[in-house]
Amino acid sequence: MPKLRAHNLTVSLDGFAAGTDQRLDAPFGDGIDGLHAWMFAAMRDHADGRTGIDVDRVERSEENIGATIMGRHMFGPQRGPWQDESWTGWWGANPPYHHDVFVHTHHLRPSLTMEGGTTFHFTDEPVERVLERAFEAAGGRDVRIGGGPATVQQYLRAGLVDELHLAVVPLLVGRGERLLDNLADGVQGYQVAELVSSPAATHAVLTRR
C-alpha cells in the first residue's frame, strides 16, 4: 500500500527547522546557517560515488516517490496574494521533482508545468483531499511531504504521515519555527523505528504504530 513519507527533515538540537524572516536571499531564514550542511555534503558524496550513513539517507528519499506535497513557503518567499506569477520556485527551469507537486496555499494560481516533467498544483483543499490527489498522481508509488514545518505539522496532527525521517544536527538556533511543536495527540501514534548517527547528524525514523 502506498505511503506518505517525509525525508531529510532537519532540525537543530533545540528543535528548529527554519529560522526567522525567510526571503529570497535566505530561503531558510536567519540564524539557521549550517542546518543542512550534512545533506549537501551527502549529496556531493553521492555524486562522487562515496557511501555512508548520511548518503544512505539521501538515497532513500528518492526511492519509489511518485508525487510531492509542500507548503507555499517551500515553493517561494512570497507572502499574501501573488503580485505576479513570474516566480516558478527556487529550482530553476528544471526542478528536481519530475512529477506532480501539490503546493498548499491560501492564494491560488493556475498549475505550472516545468521542464523535466514537474507540474506544480496550487491548492487550498484540506490535507486529506490533497493527499488523495497526490496518491492518485503517484500511480501506486509513495508520496513525499516536504516543508515547511507548518505543513508537515498539519499532516502529523491528522495522523497521515506513515514514515518520518528526522535529522538532528549539533546546532543551536534559539528562534524560528520548530517542527514538532503543538502536535498534541498527533505524536501518540508514532514510534521510533530507527536511530543512527554519523559525525554530522543523528537520524531518527518515526513510523506509525
At 22 the pLDDT is 84
At 151 the pLDDT is 95
At 107 the pLDDT is 95
Q: Annotate 13-33 with b (16+ C-beta within 10 A) or e (fewer).
A: eeebbbbeebeeeebbbebbe
54-to-16, 37, 174, 179 alpha-carbon distances in Å: 20, 11, 25, 20
pLDDT tens readout for residues 126-160:
999 999 999 999 999 999 999 889 999 999 999 99
**Cα–Cα dist 168/171, whole Å:** 9
Q: DSSP state, 141?
A: S
- Residue 104 cell numbers, joined: 498548499
At 35 the pLDDT is 94
CATH number of 4-68+140-208, picked from 1.25.40.10, 1.10.10.60, 3.40.50.300, 3.40.430.10: 3.40.430.10
- Averaged pLDDT in 10-residue chunks for the chain of 209 residues: 96 93 84 93 95 96 97 90 89 96 96 97 98 98 94 93 97 93 82 96 94
**Is the omega angle on the peptide bond into residue 139 within 30 degrees of 0, that is, cis?**
no
Name the 3-class secondary structure at 60. Answer: helix
**Cα–Cα dist 163/168, whole Å:** 16
At 100 the pLDDT is 98
For the purposes of burial, counting CB atoms within 10 Å of the CB of 79, is it exposed (0-12), middle (13-18) or buried (19 or more)?
exposed
Is the alpha carbon torsion for 105, 165, 160, 94 positive or negative? positive
Domain boundaries of the chain, sorted by first residue? 4-68+140-208
177-to-106, 112, 129, 151, 180 alpha-carbon distances in Å: 20, 28, 25, 11, 9
- Give the residue from 104, 143, 138 showing the smallest Cα distance to 121: 104
